[in-house]
Every structure is written in C-alpha cells, then in structure tokens.
C-alpha cells in the first residue's frame, strides 16, 4: 500500500496512469472522508474508478456505485469431491445453459415457483419504498434468474481439497442498469441547477436531505436486493441441474453471498459514512467474501482482516488490463482455447474478450491484498458457463 495523497490510498502495484488520475479527481471532492481507497484490481471506469472505495458524508455519487447495481458473487460448497462427479461435464454445462437465460437482453418467458416468491417479496419492498419498478422495465420480474454477459459467469469449481463448489457472478440486470442511468442523469441535472461544475460530469452527486437523494437511496437498496435474489434464484437452478447430473441431492455445507457494486451506511474513523464500493467487497474482520479470477484462472474464498485504511474492503476480481475492443484485436481463439484447457466451456469466439490475458494477473492482485484478506480456499474451474 502507498499513500498517493492525503485523500488517496492505493493498494495496486499494477495500475495505469489514467486510472490513477481518475481516482485522484474523485478524491478531491469536498465531501470525501477520510479518503478514497483504491483496490489492487483498479481500472478505468465511468466517472469513478472500478476498484475504488469511496466514503462520503451527506452526499452520494450514483456513478460511484456503477450501473450494475448490486453486482456480486454467490458460492456454495457441496459435499461432493471431484472423484464423485460424472465424466461427461458437457451434459451439466448444457443443462445449466438451458435452465438460465444467458447474454444481454435475455430473460425468462415465465416465472418458476421460487422466482414467483422472490418477485412477490421484491414487489412488496418496492411498495414500501414508494416506487414502481415497472416504470423502468415492464419485464423486470422476468429478468430475475438471468445471468447477463461480459464477465458474468456460472462455474463448477474445486478447491485445494478437491471439494466441489458451485459459483456464480451476476447483478441487477437491465432493471438495475436503468435505475442507475436514471439517477446519474438526475444528479447531473442537479449540478446544472445549482451551477456546480465538476472536472468529470459523471461524478455528479445527490445531497442528503433532498428528495432526489432519498429516492435514489431507496431505489438503490431495492436494486441491491434484486441482485442478491437474482443470484439466489440462479443458484437454485444450478443446484437442480447439478443434482440431475450426479443423481444425488446437494448438501449446501457453506453459502457465501457478497455484493461488489453497492453502497452501505458504515462507521469509519468515528463518523457515520455512506460507503460506495465500486468493484470492491466488504472485508470487515471475519466477514467471508469471494474474489474471482478471470475466465480460466483461479478464484478465492477469503476472510476479511478489517483493514481500517482500506475502509474494511478488498478487491472484487482481477480487473481488466485490455478494453474489450482491444482484447478482440489482440488475442485469438487459439489462445483462448489454450488458456481453457481441461475446463468444460462453450467454444465460441464471442469469449475472446474474456481471455485471462485481457485481465490483470490474479496472483498479483491477491499478493497486493495480503493485508486486506486471508485466503481460505483457492478454486479452480471444472465447468464454465457464460453469456455471449
């Protein structure tokens, strides 16, 4: 870790100049306290850097949460070991792909019983917060239990003891994106209304005590709950597909859920703050978390160390080194296949921009995180499912 300035602490040993400059700009905002914490996987983002922890007093920056509100991970440790699994891993991959809509814009055609219960609970929560999610996306209920694309994934993995884990990464889907985009625009309109000029328009903020702030915080918390329930619904479907494949019921020996694009109210350095983690997980002492590598590399089950200077946070993954467009120009299908040897996955050039070489080295990220978390398990992929 190094202190870049009074208001910026950096845990990344591998960081681009433009990423660092973006974080410096964020750290100059007058309501930042005590400082911005930049995680080991930090890379350039919209307004605020992906991989940053931004504590604020009486204000919130919608773009500092990100447009995939509540994006995060869920992992389940099962009673199975690798030797218990059938040899035909393609069958379970295809079963998962059939059970869960993949890719951007894909959603369910009807609700399962479990999804119906979750949608009912989310509807009641929206009513409590005084808004109608259908005003953003009429089909929001059908989005529950869908994966999306990009770096979202579903995996069957094994740890250092050959214990089998079910593991997935997704967020609040289209409904969360629309909520986020709406409030980023509202914040920018507020800046124009009050003649506030920022070095980056995407750092527009909402002030506590205004109706705009209250509405954003309510809808933000709803979207975070949607994301959590979305992951839970997908995990139920993955478990069912896994049970059919193995012919045995799954015992959920351990379940870990964590957001990495979210806001929470926390106390740090004696003050109550609004802590926005954009590409970072909660790493308070004893809190279990998940840090995924890129496609084809290791992921980690971790326990927080409660590092005060890091605002009790840790990285959310490997972090991109290449933009998607540059990755597609740089890498080949042959290189992707080489990096995925021994892993069951859908062979398509649509995943070239997800090749491990397009991301930071996860070993470097974890080494930089040594004072943030303790590694409890190292997971290696057996089956990988992604959306185009």
Contacts of 107 (CB under 8 A, 6+ apart): 101, 139, 142, 143, 146, 173, 174
Q: Are 314 and 373 in contact (CB under 8 A)?
A: yes
Residue 29 CB neighbours (<10 A): 19
Catalytic residue from among 259, 316, 377, 380 = 316
Known active-site residue 316: yes
Tell me which residue has tokens 């440790």.
77
Residue 101 CB neighbours (<10 A): 20
Residue 194 CB neighbours (<10 A): 8
Residue 338 CB neighbours (<10 A): 11
Residue 367 CB neighbours (<10 A): 11
Task: Give the pair of three-digit tokens for residue 96.
Answer: 């998962």
Give Dmax over CA atoms of the chain in angstroms: 65
- Residues 243 and 314: their CA atoms lie apart, in Å, by 33
Cα 303 to Cα 157, 257, 374: the distances in Å are 19, 13, 5
Cα 81 to Cα 153, 161, 162, 234, 376: the distances in Å are 21, 8, 5, 22, 17
CA dihedral 150→152→154→160, nearest 10 degrees, is 110
Task: For residue 61, give the nearest of 196, 233, 232 by alpha carbon.
Answer: 196
What 8-state DSSP symbol labels residue 251? P
Cα 349 to Cα 160, 333, 346, 356: the distances in Å are 30, 6, 10, 14
Known catalytic residues?
316
């Amino acid at each position: 870790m190094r202190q870049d300035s009074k208001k910026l602490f950096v845990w990344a040993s591998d960081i681009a100049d433009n990423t660092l400059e973006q974080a410096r700009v964020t750290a100059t905002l007058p309501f930042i306290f005590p400082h911005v914490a930049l995680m080991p996987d930090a890379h350039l983002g919209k307004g605020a850097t992906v991989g940053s922890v931004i504590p604020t007093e009486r204000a919130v920056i919608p773009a500092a949460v990100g447009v995939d509100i509540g994006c995060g991970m869920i992992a389940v440790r099962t009673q199975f070991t690798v030797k218990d699994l059938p040899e035909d891993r393609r069958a379970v991959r295809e079963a998962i792909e059939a059970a869960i809509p993949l890719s951007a814009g894909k959603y369910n055609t009807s609700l399962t019983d479990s999804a119906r219960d979750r949608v009912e609970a989310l509807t009641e929560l929206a009513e409590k917060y005084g808004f109608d999610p259908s005003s953003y996306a009429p089909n929001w209920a059908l989005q529950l239990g869908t994966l999306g694309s990009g770096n979202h994934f579903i995996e069957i993995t094994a740890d250092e003891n050959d214990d089998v884990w079910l593991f997935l990464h997704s967020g609040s889907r289209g409904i969360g994106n629309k909520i986020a985009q709406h409030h980023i625009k509202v914040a920018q309109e507020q800046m124009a209304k009050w003649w506030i000029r920022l070095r980056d328009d995407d750092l527009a903020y909402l002030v506590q005590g205004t109706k705009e702030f209250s509405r954003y915080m309510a809808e933000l918390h709803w979207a975070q709950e949607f994301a959590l329930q979305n992951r839970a619904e997908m995990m139920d479907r993955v478990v069912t597909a896994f049970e059919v494949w193995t012919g045995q019921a799954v015992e959920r020996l351990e379940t870990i859920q964590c957001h990495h694009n979210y806001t929470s109210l926390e106390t740090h350095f004696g003050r109550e703050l609004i802590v926005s983690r954009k590409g970072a997980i909660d790493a308070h002492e004893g809190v279990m978390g998940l840090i995924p590598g890129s496609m084809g590399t290791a992921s980690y089950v971790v326990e927080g160390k409660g590092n005060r200077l890091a605002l009790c946070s840790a990285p959310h993954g490997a972090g991109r080194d290449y933009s998607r467009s540059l990755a597609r120009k740089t890498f080949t299908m042959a290189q992707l296949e080489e990096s995925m040897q021994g892993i069951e996955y859908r062979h398509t050039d649509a995943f070239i921009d997800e090749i491990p070489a397009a991301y930071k080295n996860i070993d470097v990220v974890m080494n930089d995180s040594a004072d943030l978390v303790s590694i409890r398990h190292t997971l290696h992929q057996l089956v990988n499912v992604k959306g185009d």
